[in-house]
Chain A
Amino acid sequence: MPIDLRHLVKIGVVAFSLGLHVLSGPASAETRLLNASYDVSRELYKDINKAFRAAWKKRTGHDVIVNQSHGGSSRQALSVIGGLEADVVTMNQAPDIDILVKRGGLVSEHWRTEFPHDASPYFTTSVFLVRKGNPKGIRDWNDLVKSGISVIVPNPKTSGNGRYTYLAAWGYALQREKSAEGASAFVAALFKNVPVLDGGGRGASTTFTQRDVGDVLVTFENEAVQLERELGSGRFEIVYPSISINASAPVAIVSKVVDKHGTREVSKGYLEFLFSPEGQEIIARHHFRPRDPAILAAHARNFPAIATFTVEERFGGWEAVQGDHFSDGGIFDRIVTRR
């Protein structure tokens, strides 16, 4: 089959210039912010950004566009270290911001004090999602280690969601068994019941709800509520364990980037908006537990009371947790290789 060489050259030129055009990206005069966030906050920030745009226009008269980048929390931190010019980061666990302090000083080391509540505008907690009617009678963490129960949890090594679940189970066991050995055995038994370790929270949700694998999914409350209401039509039920973890979602300004972009003020305004009554209301509507007591009270029906502990309270901070539990050859590795 003869091919006209000129055609080939033309196609090549078109493809190349198209590629260049796409790579160079758009140019614009408005103030633009980039918020690098984690996976399941997509819907939340879509609403937040719209409301903030209006609020900022009213307050300062300036237009601002907030762009979003979503991915696994740690992967997003890696992208920012690698040069993704995010003005602000909104993560689901503090280590993903601490790393930005350690690597290249992108974020101020005092980021926790720059905003209220340790710079976390909301928190959520790890709860259980079970199949309709709770056929296996799952009520609390100790039901998850029974033989014959299949538990779906995302990989604690790659997912903040899975990490909080692991820590919640550990904290529960520590309280019951009164020793680290006991807690370790408990968590080992739990992970023996896990048939699939998905890379992230959404993957685990898909495995449980779409692939029909597992008797119980342990995930964030916001994710569980969304699954129950939106996919549900009565297919799933949420079970609140006796105690769980306080999973705070931290936020921070990326100093190096805002100084370069000249966007510190608007970035600060953006993150402060998350703590405002309007921002807190949007947060509560997305099933995250707001910090504002009045707004939490207004949504009390959606947030049953549950005893929670923080990483700082029970584990002495993230640094210790990373070193003891999730480092290579740490407790988690030892638990899962001994199966």
Chain B
Amino acid sequence: MTTSRITRVLPGFRLSLGITLVYLTFIVLVPLGAVFIKAATLSPEQYWEAVSSPRVIATYKLSFGASLLAAAINVVFGLMLAWSLVRYSFPGRKLVDALVDLPFALPTAVAGIALTAIYARNGWLGQYLEAYGIKIAFRPAGILIALIFIGLPFVVRTVQPVLEDLDIEAEEAAACLGAGRMATFIRVVLPALAPALLTGFALAFARAVGEYGSVIFIAGNIPMVSEITPLIIITKLEQYDYAGATAVASVMLVVSFVLLLLINGLQERTRRSEQKVS
């Protein structure tokens, strides 16, 4: 690599990289490092006990499982939403466009309370669902609903600009060359969108794993059934068990980081194969 030899129009490689590293260090690495340093005050046995009790294991399954599922659902419906917003013009489009961002801006506790009020057995939706034996509030299903809610904008907002830049001519060409509608979508549109969809998925997932505010109101928080990992961390903190809390947090961090790395790698691959095709 001879990057330093290349003359650029805008100088400042060293300066910007330096600032990047310092900024990342103070904003991200130092706080995260503190988590591991605090967790390291535990002996290996204590650490293992803190992160592997049955109650904590149950929360990992729920937190990561529900987050992955919610992100996957958001990829499907987020793509549809982005598609509608980009490809069609209809009355109120601007309004819908603005609505998508609302889960970003709303305090998560408000979202949690609103969702609980709707899905509780005396709520607008809950009372009808209850008649069919479907219970959402205070059940794991409620957690999923909350995570879908907060993750939606991530998918829509990452896919939307890519979709806007996508040349309709490519689809027309595909159609002219005899590709059916399904084939056009799957072989022409989807590959171009795949990197953006993966990014949206990763962001929605990462956000969902760490979400606390909205989930806590709708979850029911029953041990072994509907407790999320962030709740375990808060519970330990409230009992002044800093080390135990950071131990669980470190497990979350590592698992999330590995999953995000995997998604990034996948994205890199789809992008490369996409380039090869074009």
Contacts and interface: CB of A to CB of B under 8 A. Distances in A.
B7 interface: no
Contact of B55 (A99, A326, A337): A337
A293 interface: no
Given A328-B241, A337-B54, A198 B122 contact: no
Contacts of A199: 216, 221, 231, 234
Contact of A213 (B121, B221, B222, B237): B121
Interface stretch (A11-19, A58-66, A72-80, A173-181): A72-80
Interface in A303-339: 322, 326-329, 333, 336-337, 339
Given A198-B221, A339-B224, A212 B120 contact: yes
A157 B235 contact: yes
B99 to A, nearest CB: 20
Contacts, number: 82
A78 B122 contact: no
B240 interface: yes
A77 B231 CA distance: 18
Contact of A157 (B121, B122, B222, B239): B239
Q: Is the interface of A mostly helix, strand, loop or mixed?
A: loop
A213 B117 CA distance: 12
A322 B234 CA distance: 17
Interface in B198-245: 216-217, 220-225, 231, 234-241, 244
Given A72-B238, A75-B238, A337 B223 contact: yes
B239 A74 contact: yes
Contact of B223 (A210, A211, A329, A336): A336
B154 interface: no
B53 interface: yes
A245 B216 CA distance: 28
Interface band, chain A: 20 to 34
B138 A158 contact: no
Nearest to B122: A212
A163 to B, nearest CB: 10
A158 B223 contact: no
B71 to A, nearest CB: 26
A158 B117 CA distance: 23
A92 to B, nearest CB: 13
A211 B139 CA distance: 14
A287 to B, nearest CB: 25
B221 A195 contact: no
Contacts of B55: 333, 336-337
Given A210-B117, A211-B116, A211-B122, A74 B223 contact: no
B120 A211 contact: yes
Contacts of A246: none
Nearest to B56: A328
A329 B53 contact: yes
14 contacts: A72-B238, A78-B237, A155-B221, A194-B222, A199-B231, A211-B121, A211-B137, A212-B120, A328-B239, A328-B244, A333-B223, A336-B223, A337-B54, A339-B224
